[in-house]
Amino acid sequence: MAPVAAPSPARILVVGGGGRENALAWALNRSHGVEGVWVAPGNGGTSELPGCRQLAIPETDAEGLLQACRQLAIDLVVVGPEAPLAAGLADRLRAAGLAVFGPGADGARLEASKHWAKTLMQEAGVPTARHWRAECESEALDLLETHGRPLVVKADGLAAGKGVTVADTMEEARAAIRDIFDGRFGADAGAALVLEERTEGPEVSVFALTDGRDLVLLPPAQDHKRIGEGDTGPNTGGMGAYAPAPLLDAAGLEEVRQRVLEPTLEALRRRGIDYRGVIYAGLMLTEQGPSVIEFNCRFGDPECETLMPLLGAELATVLLACAQGRLAAAPPLAVSPLCSACVIAAAAGYPGSVRQGDVIHGGLQPGERLQLFHAGSRRDPDGMCRTSGGRVLALVAQAEDFDTAFQQVYTGLEQVRFEGMLYRRDIGHQVRSR
Ligand code: AMP
Ligand code: GLY
């Protein structure tokens, strides 16, 4: 009997409105068999993407999204951000019979609770720094004094990437502890914290697509979290990225699969968790090998913008196979050998409060190897595209080498502009010769 070809989803809904979702919508739209992509709520970039339509439904409105899926006969839902996953959006849609790429609330705890994730890693023998949990300020301060050195302080719950302090002094660590319990990162993040042993080494992100059993690894990517050149200043969501990061060669990636990803999936299964979506391992490459800094339950942003242009037209089929629990039967996902470079253009003030509503000008013509994705932008009724968030645009280019790819991104950035636009000129310094 001839093997049955893996089906492609014809109609896809992408949930979210950032640069990551713009990149996902763009890549899925050019996948085999895809007839239409909807994005909810989308942004000023997805509203202009040919073949893509916007739905004015917030990512928190599970019932509204479910209704839209039914009306539009959606074949696959791809959930971009962590918050709706942690709130159970994938569970709600799956219960109604939809195919969803993204874990349920149980699997999303990998990101939503640092303590839960650390405990799972310990059980599974996954390499990660030692940690201690505290539920109140005095307990945390006592733990810190007992150790007598400035441990890394992390809010236990979701804190939009801002709940971590790598303290150099005891006083900084104490201040970070007080900030968390003062509720500075919100009630959820302020309920408990984790103190962690500090590890040293370069950082790299590895993304695995999974149906809960099998894994497809994407090229490793390196993010640039600090706002300032030379990796200085406060942490951000990410100011740029590149892939494949040569820090992890094929053997290194295989080690990550065997020592990190496979044992993690197995531990999830032992807890009865059927994890279908992305596992994002934030790794530090220490002298003893890769150590997990954190897991996330979704694609990284801007790593997603960087990686999507490298992936083949099997992407939609592979994501549907993950959602349906039959990844082993999916076609192999082609990955381009090119180097991909991404730089974020942010609004003045980022990562603090930013001005919004500035008109985005520019005549940049995207091409086969040059993409302009939008993040914090919106298209107003007058047709103008205006800034509406901290990270506004992601410019991405692919080339045979990183020097050329970054040169194309930086040349492209000269052709877009908005008041107060800022970007780092040193993204990819690790892989550039000029
Ligand atoms: P996270 O939000 O967990 O990714 O942490 C944000 C950043 O803090 C990471 O990208 C690291 O640069 C740093 N970090 C987190 N945990 C540690 C650790 N145990 N040792 C050193 N740096 C860390
Ligand atoms: N770029 C890091 C993140 O998405 O968490």
Find out whether 44 and 386 touch, Cβ atoms under 8 Å.
yes
Question: Which residue's entry shows tokens 């992890």?
Answer: 248
Instruction: Provide Rg for the chain, Cα atoms.
Output: 21
* Nearest CA owner, ligand 1 atom 16: 293
- Going from the Cα of 301 to the center of ligand 2, the distance in angstroms, rounded, reads 5
d(CA 115, CA 124): 14
CA distance 209 to 327: 9
- Ligand 1 centre to CA of 288 (Å) is 17
The partner residues of 416 in beta bridges, in order of sequence, read 362
Q: Which ligand approaches the C-alpha of residue 203 most closely?
A: 1
Q: What is the Å distance from ligand 1's center to 164 Cα?
A: 7
Smallest CA-to-CA distance from 162 within 357, 397, 390, 394 is with 390
Ligand 2 center–CA 20 separation, angstroms: 10
Q: Which residue reads 């949930």 in tokens?
A: 15
Q: Is the CB of 293 under 6 A from ligand 1?
A: yes
Number of the ligand closest to the Cα of 306? 2
Look at ligand 1, atom 18, and give the residue with the nearest C-alpha: 198
Angstrom distance (rounded) from CA 188 to CA 190: 5
Q: Is the CB of 303 under 6 A from ligand 2?
A: yes
Q: How far apart are CA 280 and CA 107, in angstroms?
A: 12
Element housing 187 (H / E): none
CA distance 416 to 393: 9
- Cβ neighbours of residue 31 closer than 8 Å, sequence gap 6 or more: 8, 313, 314, 315, 316, 317
- Calpha distance 229→213 (Å, rounded): 40
Assigned CATH for 339-417: 3.90.600.10
Cβ(166) to ligand 1 under 6 A? yes
219 lines ligand 2 (CB under 6 A): no
Closest listed ligand to the CA of 166: 1
Q: Whose CA is nearest to atom 7 of ligand 1?
A: 164
Per-domain boundaries in the chain:
11-101, 130-196, 200-329, 339-417
Pairing of strands 226-228, 232-235: antiparallel
Tokens of 79: 């959930």
Which ligand lies nearest the alpha carbon of 201?
Answer: 1
Domain 130-196 adopts which CATH fold?
Answer: Dna Ligase; domain 1 (3.30.1490)
pLDDT of residue 1: 46
CATH 3.30.565.10 fits 11-101, yes or no: no
Ligand 1 pocket check for 199: Cβ under 6 Å: yes
Beta-carbon contacts of residue 129 (< 8 Å; ≥ 6 apart): 152, 196, 197, 198, 199, 291, 293
Residue nearest to atom 4 of ligand 1 (CA): 294
pLDDT tens string, the chain, 434 residues long: the values are 445 568 999 999 999 999 999 999 999 999 999 999 999 999 999 999 999 999 999 999 999 999 999 999 999 999 999 999 999 999 999 999 999 999 999 999 999 988 899 999 999 999 999 999 899 999 999 999 998 889 899 888 776 666 788 889 999 999 999 988 887 766 666 678 889 999 999 999 999 999 999 999 999 999 999 999 999 998 899 999 999 999 999 999 999 999 999 999 999 999 999 999 999 999 999 999 999 999 999 999 999 999 999 999 999 999 999 999 999 999 999 999 999 999 999 999 999 999 999 999 987 889 999 999 999 999 998 889 999 999 999 999 999 999 999 999 999 999 999 999 999 999 999 999 97
Distance 41 CA to ligand 1 centre (A): 30
CATH of domain 200-329: 3.30.470.20
- Cβ proximity of 104 and 94 under 8 Å: yes
* CA dist., res. 90 & res. 389, Å (int): 26
Buried/exposed 384-393: b ≥16 CB within 10 Å, e otherwise: ebbbbbbbbb
d(CA 131, CA 71): 47
Ligand 1 contacts CB of residue 29 (under 6 A): no
Nearest CA to ligand 2 atom 3: 300
Pocket test for ligand 1, best of 131, 132, 152 (most atoms within 8 A of CB): 152
- DSSP H helical ranges for 310-395: 315-324
Nearest CA to ligand 2 atom 4: 300
411 phi-psi bin (left φ>0, alpha ψ -120 to 50, beta other): alpha
pLDDT at position 160 = 64
